[in-house]
Structure formats: C-alpha cells, structure tokens
Amino acid sequence: MQKFFVLLALSLLIYGCSGTQHSIENDSESPVDLEREANRDDPRIASILEQYRTEYDDKMGVRVAEVAYPLEFGSPESALGNMAADAIRFRAAREARRFIHLSVIGESSFRLNFNEGTLTLGEVLEFMPYENHLVLLKLTGEMVHELSQQIAARGGAPVSGMRFRLVDGRAQQVLVNSEILDRTGEYWLATSNWVANGGDDFTAILNPLERIDYELSIRDLYVDYFRNQRTLSPEIDGRIRE
C-alpha cells in the first residue's frame, strides 16, 4: 500500500511539473491522457484526482513518531546519521538472526532532515524516497580498514558499530564494536543495495566475500524503526571524533 501511494505521489508530482504526457487507468480500464483531459477542465478527471489526493493526504499524514529536537546530517558525525546507520544494523541483525558488526550508508541516500515535533509517514517517505533494499556483505578486515579510510577521506559518513579518530583525513585507532579492528578477520556489514552496488563510492565493499540481498525495503525498515522508537532523540556519541 505504501508503494502504491508513493507511486501515486510521484505520478501527481510528475504530472504537476512536467510538460510530457502521462496516463493512468480509469474505471473502464481505458488509458486516460491526464494532460489532455485536464486541459479540457474535465470534472470527471478532477474528481478522480481529488479522490486520490484526499486518500493520499490521509495516509501520508499518519503519525510515525515524535522528534525531540531538530535532526540534521553533518560531519564528521551527526545524531541523524547515527540513527540512520543504527537502524539498518539493528534490523539487519534481526533479519539475519546473527550479530552484525557494522553498517554504513551515504548521506546521498536521504533527502530530508527532521524538524522537532510529529514525524509523519509522508515525511519518512521523503526522508528515504528510493526503492532500495537491505543487503548484508561479509568483508575482510582489510576491506573494513579501507572502508574506514574512505569514510575518513570524505570527512565522515553515517556509520554504526565502527569508531575511529579522524586525523588529517585518515582514520586512526579504528574500533569495531569497541575492539581493535582485526585486519585478518571477517566482518558482516549491513547497508542498502545502492551503497553495495557502488552508489556512494565506497569501493572497499564492492567485492565482498559474500553478499545476501533481503526483500526488505530500506524505507519500510525506517518506518518500523521510527515507529518502535516512538520518540526520536539520537545523540552524537563520538563514533567519529576529531
């Protein structure tokens, strides 16, 4: 159902912003050219759109959680980034039924900061507007070390399970779950398929020892996580410190 309304919203957005032609199915299952029909000021089309718009507004306005204070992404770490990465790692552990060492996701995957007050379903869908799904990667310690250096080189990124000091664009004293990174070891990393496929330029993770894709959208993951939290009040905890 969420996917339906996202698609509907996108359809309405495209219709409102584009000069190209788009169509939907009417009750008789015949394609209806929205632009042509709208230009005729057809009350039938207006009624259909209003019906969907009202239903869409009702669904998107549903309360998901309360936000304790304004949350924004930032470097080298941010409360919102920490929460975004924690949510992926914790849910990955639940899906895999095993301990997940760390997670990472780039800020380019998100499109919205959070204001203080009620967080609605529509805002979560704006926060994560993409159809990405959960992925687990088994990495060597050397890959994790290289990943930490790539995160450091960009001045930080949303991570969970990893801690390090940022010095002159390099990651130093890298810890994974409070233990010194074992460069001969193996680690499980949770992320999205977008990141796993190279979307955020973390090249260190492109050739994992093993990869598992889950049919769980990152968007739904966040909706569930935020709803269970009830009040969102993440903190900066020094996981990437200067």
pLDDT of residue 36: 57
pLDDT of residue 115: 94
Q: In this structure, are strands 240-241 and 102-104 parallel, antiparallel, or unpaired?
A: unpaired
Mean pLDDT, rounded, for 212-219: 96
* Secondary structure (3-state) at 75: coil
Q: What is the DSSP string of 190-236?
A: EEEHHHHTTTT--GGGSS-SEEEEEEEEHHHHHHHHHHHHSEE----
* Secondary structure (3-state) at 122: helix
**Whether pLDDT at 20 is above 70:** no
pLDDT of residue 31: 46
pLDDT of residue 120: 95
pLDDT tens per residue, range 95-149? 999 999 999 998 888 888 999 999 999 999 999 989 999 999 999 999 999 999 9
Q: Which helix (H) or strand (E) holds 17?
A: helix 2-17
pLDDT of residue 15: 36
**Whether pLDDT at 77 is above 80:** yes
17-26, 91-100, 147-156, 167-176: range with lowest mean pLDDT? 17-26
